[in-house]
Chains A and B, each alone.
Chain A
Amino acid sequence: MFDFARLRLAASSDFARLRLAARRLRRLAVRWRSFVPCVALAALAAGPVASGADADAAVARRVVSLNPSLTAMLVALGAADRLVGVDVWSKRQNPDLAALPTVGGLYNPSLEALVALSPDLVVFVPAAEQRDFHARLDGLGVRVERFDPVRFDEVLASIERLGRIVGREAEARARVAEIGRVRAGLEGAAAGLPRPRAVLILQRDPLFVVGGANFIDEMLTSVGAQNVAGSFPEPYPRVSLEWLVAQAPEVILDSSHDADPPAAHWARFASLPAVVQGRVVRLPVGIATLPGPDLDDALRLLSRSVHGRDLLGGR
C-alpha cells in the first residue's frame, strides 16, 4: 500500500516555515486515511479476528455498524431492524437507512453519540482511528467485534460470522452458498475463453489500481481475466501511468469517481489495446469494489465488463 513513513519523513524535513499548517494537515490526513481508495470503505471489513467465541455470545439486538460493507451485510441478512446507528458512509450508500441516527464518519465516529444509542454490539473495521475507539468502547463495557476481510474467503467468512452474531446463520449460509455457486459457474464458463489482460482502475490521478492478494483480484481471475497488477503484493498499489501503458491491458475497468467519461480519458493513449478494441468500461462505484454481501453481483458485473456479455446467460 502507500508508504506513509516516507511521506512523514518528507514532511518533517520540510522547513519552509509557512507550510507549518499544511504539514499539520498532512499528518492529519495520514492518520485519517490509512489510504485505500474507494475500495477502502470496503477493505475495512474483516476476516475473523480472534475476538473469540462470538458465536456463543448472546445474539445482538441493538447493533451499531461503523462500516458500509458491514452495514450492507447486515441489511442483506435481513437484520436491518437490529441496526440502531450507522456511520455516514453506510447511510450514503443505503438510502433506506436515512432514518437511522448517524454516529459519525469512518474515521471520526462520535463516542458520545454512539453510547447514547446504548448498543449491545458495535461492529467496525480497524482503521487507525477506530482502533483507539475500540479500546475506549471496551473500557465502557460495550461489546465490540472487528472485521478486516481482504481475501475473497475472508469476505465470505465475515458474512457467516456476522450472521452468527445477529442470529441469521441460515441467511448467511444461503448467501455464501449463492456466491459460491455463481463463482463456480463463472469459472466454468470462462474456462474455455481467452483470458484478456485487464486492469481495474480505482482512481486516475493519483493512479491507484487493484493489485494482488485481495478479493477483487481473485474475482478478476474467476471471471477469466488476468489482472496485470496482480503481481503487486499490496492490494491497492499506486502505480505509474507509464507502467500501465507498458502493460498494454486489453480491458480497462474504470471505477474511479471521476466525472470525465473513461473512454474519452483513456483514448489519449492510442496504443492501448483496450482503447483500440473499445474495451474501456466504466464500473459503477462500489459494486465490484465493496467487500460486502453481494459478491455474486460483483462477479457477474465483472464478467459482463470483461467479456461483454453475461457468461451465465439469464440465470
Chain B
Amino acid sequence: MRALSPGRWAAVLLSLSGLLAVVAALGLASGPSGLAPSEVWEVLGGGGAGAAADIVLRIRLPRVVLAAGVGASLAVSGVLFQALLRNPLADPFILGISGGAALGGILVLAFGAAVGLGQSAVPPAAFAGAVGATVLLFAVTGLGGSVSTTALLLTGVVFNAFASAAIVFIASLAGLAEGASIFLWLIGNLSGGEIRLALWVGLFLAVGLACALPLARGLNLLALGEEQAGQLGVEVERHKRVLLLATSLMVGAAVSVSGLVGFVGLIIPHLLRLVLGPDHRLLVPASALGGAAFLVLCDTAARTLLPGRELPVGAITALLGGPLFLVLLRRHHRSVYAP
C-alpha cells in the first residue's frame, strides 16, 4: 500500500473535482437542441429566457446534478460493500436493496394508473421498497450480536431472485406501455431527472459519506479479516451495522430515481483502486467524485449520441466502462490484486 500523505490526498481529490467540473460543464453545454455555449452560460448567469432557460435550467441542469448524485452514490456504496463484505464482486445491488426498490417502483409503473398514481409516485414507492428490503435484511441477519457476511450475501441473493421473479410476474400482467417503462427502469435511465429528486439523492449521499469517511481507516483494517481488525481495535460489528444501514439507504435513494444503472458501482471502485491503491481514506471520497464524473459523462452521451433521441444510460455505462476497466486491469492488476 502506498503511503497516503495529506498532500497526495488533496491532490487526487482536487484533480477528480476538476474532472467532475469539466464533465459537468460539458454536460450542460451539450444537447440535441444545439444551443450555443454562450447561450448556456447566459442562462446560468441568470439571464436568458424562453426555450433556452427551459432547456438549461429544467432539463440539462437537473440531469447533470442527478447523474452526479446517482453516480457518486452507486460508486461509494460499491466501495463500501466491497470492503464490508470483503468480496470484490460486491456491487450496490448485491444485498437485495435494488430488488426491493425495483419491486416498489415497478408496482407503481404497472398498476399506478389504475389507482390514480402517476409516474411521479414511482420514486417514493421505489424508496419504500428499498427501505422494506433493508428492514428484511436486518430482520433476517439479526440486529444484535454479530452480522454474518455469508448470511447477508445469501439474504441479498435470495431476495433479489424473489424480486426478479415478482417483476417478471408483474410485467406479464402489465400493458405494453407499462412494459416499456419497466424495461427501461431495469436497465437504468435518468430521463425523468428533476432537481428535487437530485436533492433527495444528494441528502442520502451526504449521510452515507458522513458515516463512511470517519470509519475509512477501520475499513482498511477490515481487509485483514474481521478477527484481526477486532484485535487491532476496530469495533467491527458497530462499523458494519452503521455502514450497512447508511449504504442501503444511499443505494435505495439512487435506485429509486434512476432504476438499475449497472456497472458504476462495480467498476469505479475497482478502477480507482487500480490507479490509487486500496486505502479507503482516499478511495471513498475519490469514488464519490469519480462515480459522479463517470455517470455525468455517460448520461451526456446517452442524451447526445443520437440527435433527438435518448439511449438508456445503463447501456452506455457498460459499453464505455467495460473496455476501459479491462485495459486498466491488464495493466495494473499485479500491483493491486496479487498477494
Residue numbers of A with Cβ under 8 A of B are 2, 6-7, 9-11, 13-19, 21-22, 24-26, 28-30, 32-33, 35-38, 40-41, 89, 105-106, 108, 202-208, 232, 237-243, 245-246, 248, 256-260, 265, 268-272
Contact = CB atoms under 8 A, between A and B. Distances in A.
Given A10-B318, A29-B183, A243-B309, 10 more contacts: A7-B315, A11-B187, A25-B167, A29-B171, A33-B183, A208-B180, A257-B113, A257-B177, A271-B52, A271-B53
Interface string B173-189: 00111111111101101
B263 interface: yes
B311 A206 contact: no
Contacts of A242: 31-33, 55, 59-60, 303
A260 B319 contact: no
A93 to B, nearest CB: 11
Nearest to B116: A259
B50 interface: yes
A19 B93 contact: yes
A22 B164 contact: yes
A33 B119 contact: no
B168 A25 contact: yes
A13 B318 CA distance: 6
Given A35-B176, A260-B119, A16 B33 contact: no
Contacts of B315: 6-7, 9-10
A268 B180 CA distance: 24
A13 B175 CA distance: 29
A21 B96 CA distance: 12
Contacts of B94: 18
Contacts of B8: none
Contacts of B34: 246
B290 interface: no
A206 B310 contact: yes
21 contacts: A6-B315, A14-B263, A15-B322, A16-B265, A18-B91, A18-B156, A19-B260, A25-B168, A25-B186, A40-B177, A203-B177, A205-B181, A237-B308, A238-B309, A239-B308, A240-B31, A242-B32, A242-B55, A245-B55, A246-B32, A271-B51
A292 to B, nearest CB: 16
B187 A268 contact: no
B208 to A, nearest CB: 20
A226 to B, nearest CB: 16
B136 interface: no
Contacts of B113: 257-259
B310 A238 contact: yes
A89 to B, nearest CB: 7
Contacts of B224: none
